[in-house]
Structure 1
Amino acid sequence: MNKQQLLLKGIERKREKEKERQAQKPNKPLAFIMTVIHEYPETSALASAFGQFVIDEQNKALKNHDEFLVAISGGSLINVMRKALVDNETIASQIQWPKWHVYFSDERLVPLDHADSNYGAFKKAVLDELTHKQIAGPTVYTINESLVQEGGSENEKIAQEYELLLPSKRPFDLILLGCGPDGHTCSLFPGPKHAYLLEETHRKVMWCHDSPKPPSDRITITLPVVLASETVAFVAEGSAKKPIMDEIFNTVNKTLPCTLVNLRRSDPSAGDTTPDNAATHWFVSSDAIAGLRIETAAY
């Protein structure tokens, strides 16, 4: 084999290696072009980046408005919020809590001091800490506790009243969400049984009367409210989330509420009311996506 043949063989080998390298790169579906995944090795690093993200969203909103409109879910998200926005002194010093208006993307229909209440969890993790530190807190919008009754006779009215509390002049600046192991978010659950929630196009808040997770009675904001938000961010931690993350980002299971948020906020042709550059961010732990073909970016 002469020198030229050796050179050509070397070039061909490089081409093959490049093909292999490209084949191993995660492929981001075009429909997810406005979805960004941020990966962190542990909760402390995730919370730090998440805190800076929230500060940036706050400051962006306050450039044009006098208030920061935020909706939050419950569960582990609230603990991340505490680590990010209360315990981290650098971030905490930049939070303008009195300008925050905090709503709940979903709420369990229980008394506000009940262990299952999202408001109760937020109060314990965040509001009580602010009070302890003598920091003025946000304006918080809760369900009408007086309507929570045995038998749920007023549950529909609770949803209707909470809808009237939502911002009417403009969409939310930021909605912070979790991701359930079944792909649900807010209290929007997958499957035909819960299509009445996921397919609602007119109501902003619905009564979920058959949650697969107790308690069965909840209220939830609807998909159009999530899609209209200026920015949406999910938090997903732990190896138990790995199967559903695979379904959302690789299988792209369109029956899952989390997938629908990603897809429809990225696709202006879907006919939804979404803002320009409607970014959707995911803050995830490394074990939640370990070994999956998912493209990540730093924040």
Structure 2
Amino acid sequence: MSGHLETIAHPDKAALAADVADRALTVLAAAQEERGETTVVLTGGTMGAAALAALAASPRRDGVDWSRVNVWWSDERFVAEDSPERNCRQAADAVAGALSLNPDRVHCMGSTDDFATAEDAAEDYRHELAAAADAEHRAGGHPRFDLALLGLGPDGHVASLFPGRPHVHDDDATVLAVHDSPKPPPDRVTMTLPLINAAEQIWFVVAGADKAGAVAAVRAGAPLDGTPGAGVRGTEETLLLVTEDCLPR
């Protein structure tokens, strides 16, 4: 795990989304050139969707063979399949069919239509990750992640790992069920910090003055109990891609 954290500021949300898209296209194309496929872990939220929309609209998008891109999610709301709150659905709406993804390579977390409990959905995702790892002949219960895009809540939460919750420190599991989330909906499924940190490159994508305190805490390396996002580090690179209003003036 790389301890270095680099912060890169952007004048507004549009510039941030465009930069994330451009950087992501470079990473995915290079990984495909190296080994024939590439894997990205996505997040939800307004900026996550904006970055995907910018990527889908980019004139460089055809430099990636989207049929050989594996897609996973760092977390998901445990709601109905067609709920607009689903990160998976928001991502699909953002790209609007512009990317020719192979459905077999798109790994959405289970919904209430698929499973009775969030625990069942988490267990299923663990099995799905392990199967992908076996196909790649990798140990550790997860496939290779070239890039993970993450949001950051005003309270410092990342994925569905919230401040003051014991699962922030869970090193035994890769995917967990979360209940009584302080941000609705209450039931969720999330990757743990060790699994998120298995990604080679991790980029926070953060916009808005309301996130300034959380960004400052992540940059300062605040304790995990108060700022789970401070525990995120990629194995090769960790970037805070933010709008200028997230930083001290």
TM-score, normalising length: structure 2:
0.86
Distance 1:39 1:32, change over 3 A: farther
Amino acid paired to 1:159 = A
Counterpart contact for 2:157–2:228, Cα < 8 Å: yes
Amino acid paired to 2:242 = V
* 1:171-207 superposed Cα distances (whole Å, 9 cap, x missing partner): 311111000000001101111xx11x21211211100
| 2:232 counterpart residue number | 261
Give 1 or 2: higher helix fraction: 1
1:281 aligns with 2:239: yes
CA distance in 2, matches of 1:78, 1:247: 21
1:211 aligns with 2:181: yes
CA distance in 2, matches of 1:260, 1:98: 33
Q: Which structure has the greater CA radius of gyration?
A: 1
CA distance in 1, matches of 2:41, 2:73: 5
* 1:114-166 superposed Cα distances (whole Å, 9 cap, x missing partner): 0211111111111x342xxxx522431123346556xxx43211110011112
| 1:94 counterpart residue number | 63
Amino acid paired to 1:190 = P
Matches within 5 A, 1:3-42: 34-42=4-12
| 1:247 counterpart residue number | 217
Counterpart contact for 1:78–1:125, Cα < 8 Å: no
1:184 aligns with 2:157: yes
CA distance in 1, matches of 2:17, 2:110: 32
CA distance in 2, matches of 1:110, 1:72: 18
Counterpart contact for 1:147–1:155, Cα < 8 Å: no
CA-CA distance at 1:225 after TM superposition: 0.7
Aligned equivalent of 2:81, options 112, 129, 142: 112
Counterpart contact for 2:145–2:200, Cα < 8 Å: yes
| 1:221 counterpart residue number | 191
1:101 aligns to what SS in structure 2?
strand
What stretches of structure 1 of length at least 5 have no aligned partner? 1-30, 266-274, 292-299
CA distance in 1, matches of 2:73, 2:3: 27
Amino acid paired to 1:93 = D
Give the length in aligned residue pairs.
236
Aligned equivalent of 1:154, options 111, 117, 125: 117
Counterpart contact for 1:77–1:177, Cα < 8 Å: no
CA distance in 2, matches of 1:81, 1:36: 19
CA distance in 2, matches of 1:172, 1:204: 14
CA distance in 1, matches of 2:144, 2:168: 19
What stretches of structure 2 of length at least 5 have no aligned partner? none
CA distance in 2, matches of 1:99, 1:241: 35
TM-score, normalising length: structure 1:
0.73
Counterpart contact for 1:75–1:118, Cα < 8 Å: yes
1:175 aligns to what SS in structure 2?
strand
Counterpart contact for 2:151–2:204, Cα < 8 Å: yes
